[in-house]
Amino acid sequence: MKNTRLVFENRVNGHLIPNAMPTYLKKRLTEHAIKHDNVEGFREIFESEFGQPTFPYAATWDIGWITNEVDLLSDLSSASDDYITSNQVYYLFYIGTAGNIEFGLNPSDTDSDSDIIKTSYFENLSSTVIDYTKTKNNFFIYISNLQEGISYNIVDEIYKQATKLNIPLNKIVLQSDSADFQEIKNKLEKEYKTNIDLKYIMYSWALPLSAEYIQQLQEKNNIFTNFKTNRKNKVVCLNRRLKDYRLTTISFLLGMGYENMYLSYDIDWCDDISKYYNFLTLNSYEKEFKDTLNKGFEIFKATKKRKADDIDDAFDKVYFDDAKMYEDSYFSIVTESEWYAKQRITEKITKAFINHHPFVVVGPYKTLELLKFYGFKTFSEFWNEDYDNIKNPQDRFLAITKVIDKLMNLSTEEWDILTKKIQPILIHNRKCLENFKQTKVRDKFLQNILSLLENKLTNSYYSIL
């Protein structure tokens, strides 16, 4: 049976040192591992010493279920030729980016003076790694961008840097959670008039991770359990990092004067509030709608912060909202991580699945279509979801607000009747999410990696799940 094995250049006291790190940073991390017999927490150590530049090299934590086998490059180099050329094994030189792939590809754009950020992943590859991509049919560079998606610029940079080193593009595997790789690929091929045969896989990390959290939430008795009637609020709308479309959503809700909301925001998470104002006042909106947004915007500025619950909002507790919010409200407005592009699924939508909540998504074009690809159900039978098919961002936002207004104006009695009708969908969505537990999808994951490497992965999204 064919197998995949991850390849690393360094292991110290049993701890893997991330690949493609700058020499200086690699030396410091190795010294730390030797001294403390530990590399756990090195991200925090180097962040405090060097700052942001260490982030692109901080991800080896998610490899455990990708493969049971890890090799060192030196083992491959010293082994017999049959070992490295075996047609039963694919070797993947793993570069984990912690969602910071763009920074790791083009660090010279930074303002920092630190030498450690003057080289990219490709410039840090050893001559052996580069040679193996050219001479060994079963050796690949595997760049895993677990979250934050990819963009045209990222794939373009990979193309340029790989071409400069004469690394065949089809020996590079790029993994991210973006569903729009084909669109990027088409644009690049038109630009360069060549086939961009980079191997791409979409891994929607939020699905397995969220599925794993269900059990923890159940153990803490902090998960939706009761389809009660006569709920006191209508909606949950949580907003952490404020972006223009989130601020505009908040402004709409406040400007309309809705009171029965679990709504959260914090102006301190908005680095420059003035740059978001243009989205609120675009000429494509009618005056009455703009007046509503402007009214809400003033309320937002005046209140500065609003919390939906008393749960600690630390970054590593993003799943642990107070479940009572969901039991005491009827639907969620999910302001996704993206709006303009990067069609992705994140933990923001899966929290609605976990807590048996129907949802309206303030997110990218075709987000609902992507959810259906994975087997989730939406609510077009009960309200208008045509907004998912609107590509223009402002037109899509206007269509979404019309749906929100309709749902916010349903009476409690109407919501109780509607909830009973959609209850089977809500139960289905949580069960569907549970099917993405790592123990359930691992075999499919590994099988699809093999299919990708053998050019047999055919689904439209390049999904590995």
When the pLDDT of each residue in the chain is averaged and rounded to a whole number, the result is: 86
Kind and range of the H or E element at 193? Answer: none
234 — pLDDT class (breaks 50, 70, 90): very high
In terms of average pLDDT, the best of 55-64, 86-95, 101-110, 201-210 is: 201-210
Work out how many domains the chain is built from and give that number.
2
Q: Which residue has the tokens 């110290």?
A: 12
pTM score: 0.90
Q: Which of 112-126, 319-333, 358-372 has the lowest mean pLDDT?
A: 112-126
Domain containing 298 — which CATH number?
3.40.50
Q: Is residue 80 part of a domain?
A: yes
315 — pLDDT class (breaks 50, 70, 90): very low
pLDDT for res 25:
76
**Helix, strand, coil percentages for the chain (3-state, nearest 5):** 50, 15, 40
Residues sharing a CB contact under 8 Å with residue 282, sequence separation 6 or more, in sequence order: 394
pLDDT for res 56:
67
Q: Are residues 26 and 146 in the same domain?
A: yes
Residue ranges making up the domain that contains 108: 3-203+438-453
- Specify which residues 200 forms β-bridges with: 174
Report the Cα 260 to chain-centroid distance in Å: 30
Exposed, middle or buried, 428 (CB in 10 Å: 0-12/13-18/19+)? middle
Q: Are residues 429 and 444 in the same domain?
A: no
Q: Are residues 179 and 211 in the same domain?
A: no
Locate 324 and state its tokens.
């009572």
84 — pLDDT class (breaks 50, 70, 90): low
Q: State yes or no: pLDDT of 401 exceeds 80.
A: yes
In terms of average pLDDT, the best of 2-16, 89-103, 360-374, 449-463 is: 360-374
Q: Is residue 463 part of a domain?
A: no
Q: Is residue 44 part of a domain?
A: yes
Q: Is residue 464 part of a domain?
A: no
The b/e string for 240-255 (b: 16+ C-beta within 10 A; e otherwise) is bebbbbbbbbbbbbbb
Q: Are residues 7 and 20 in the same domain?
A: yes
Q: Is residue 429 part of a domain?
A: yes
Q: Are residues 182 and 289 in the same domain?
A: no
Residues 363-367, mean pLDDT to the nearest whole number: 95
171 — pLDDT class (breaks 50, 70, 90): very high
Strand locations in 252-293 (E): 261-263, 265-266
pLDDT in tens, 126-168: 999 999 999 998 999 999 988 889 999 999 999 999 999 999 9
pLDDT in tens, 429-447: 999 999 999 888 888 888 8
pLDDT for res 99:
79
Q: Are residues 270 and 391 in the same domain?
A: yes
pLDDT in tens, 142-152: 999 888 899 99
- Taking the C-alpha atoms of residue 50 and residue 39, their distance in angstroms, rounded to an integer, is 16
Q: Is residue 458 part of a domain?
A: no
Q: State yes or no: pLDDT of 111 exceeds 90.
A: no
Q: Is residue 304 part of a domain?
A: yes
Q: Which of 99-103, 132-136, 260-264 has the lowest mean pLDDT?
A: 99-103
51 — pLDDT class (breaks 50, 70, 90): low
Q: Are residues 289 and 425 in the same domain?
A: yes
Q: Are residues 335 and 420 in the same domain?
A: yes
Locate 421 and state its tokens.
């009708």
Are 461 and 345 in contact by the 8 Å Cβ rule? The answer is no
Say which residue, 320 or 304, is predicted with more confidence. 304
Q: Are residues 19 and 71 in the same domain?
A: yes
Q: Is residue 221 part of a domain?
A: yes
